[in-house]
Structures are given as structure tokens and as C-alpha cells.
Amino acid sequence: MFTINIHEAKTHLSRLIEKASKGESFIIAKSGKPMVKVVALETPAANEIRRVGFMAGQFTVPDDFDRMGSEAIEKLFGSDS
């Protein structure tokens, strides 16, 4: 791991990000004092990627889902018909 001053980090940010993304972490210092550590984010493994529908088949939606509670809602807000 190497240390780089903040001015040089601003100048070479794209190159430094590329290095960090490949696993080469570094420290940014201000006036020689370490301030932050830059490391690559962990990417999830292929089997850990969450997708829409990841719970498919694990529960069912009732047929009257869109009408559930309609009586209580009508009592609270009335009916415009």
C-alpha cells in the first residue's frame, strides 16, 4: 500500500481509481497526515447477485389481493358512487 498527497491524487484520480479497482489500495494524505484509505469495493459472487423475482415460488398472493380491506377503506373514506 502506498501513500499519495491530496494534490497528486486529484491530478491522477482516474489512474488511481483504476489501480484500486484492481486491488491496489492506497492512502490519501494531507500535509503528510493520512486522511483516507481507498480500497476496491467487493463485488458479489455470481450466486449472490440479487434479482427481481428472487423469491419466486416461496409465497403466494391471494386472488382477492386488490380487494383486501375494501370494506374498511369504504367505511373510512366513504364511497363516491
Residue 61: per-residue pLDDT: 86
- When pLDDT is averaged across residues 14-32 and rounded to a whole number, the result is 93
**Over residues 22-48, mean pLDDT:** 86
Q: Which residues contact 21 (CB under 8 A, 6 or more apart)?
A: 40
CATH topology of domain 1-40: YefM-like fold (3.40.1620)
pLDDT given for residue 53 in this prediction: 80
Average pLDDT over residues 4-33: 94
State the pLDDT confidence band at 23, using cuts at 50, 70 and 90: confident
